[in-house]
Amino acid sequence: MKIVRVLIFVVAGCWVCGAVAFAVTQFRQVYPTAENKSAFLKSYAPNIVLDKFKSNAANSEVAWQASDGAGMGFASHMASYEPTLVIKSSDWVALMEAMRDDIVSRLTAQQAEIEEEACNAADGFKIKYTMGKTEGTVSVDPIKTTDPFVQPAKGAGSGSGEMTVRLRIQIHEKWFKSQRL
């Protein structure tokens, strides 16, 4: 009879410990909401810049996807844009520079602090920023042409004619429950 009491006590103790651990985990879990998504991420779309460089509006598209996730002490948000458009072959450097300038301008308008920036038209760019309780990264991959035999030159844009290009723009953000130092 004494063994049964000890066994019940041990099982009950394990159950209480498990319940407490679950409660603590749920308390620290931060779920994604519209309130913890930055104004930059909510409003960003590359169309304003892309429209300035389009040579043929009938042959363009923007694939878009977004996801959100819960984490311990933070919520994460992600958006990805993959536009395909026809541009003048001499405009690819100007397009990349305009994309970078537009993103920096939008972040600055939202009072974001640019923490780190690595920019190169040929290699793409990455911008890390903070905005209140949000830490984020915007990355733009180098321009890819849809024709494997035509690639943008590694210097200033050159050549005549047009080419169909594809970009990939990704925004990753984490909103932290408490202010980061």
pLDDT at 181 over 60: no
If we measure between CA atoms, which residue out of 99, 69, 67, 103 comes closest to residue 83?
A: 99
Asked whether residue 85 falls in the same domain as residue 22, the answer is no
The residue segments making up the domain with residue 60 are: 31-176
Mean pLDDT within 12-29: 61
Domain assignment present for 181? no
pLDDT tens digit string along 109-127?
A: 999 999 999 888 788 999 9
Asked whether residue 81 falls in the same domain as residue 130, the answer is yes
Share of the chain above pLDDT 90, in %: 53
Domain assignment present for 131? yes
What gap in Å lies between CA 61 and CA 58, rounded to an integer? 9
pLDDT for position 109: 95
Helices marked H in the chain: 2-28, 39-43, 47-53, 92-109
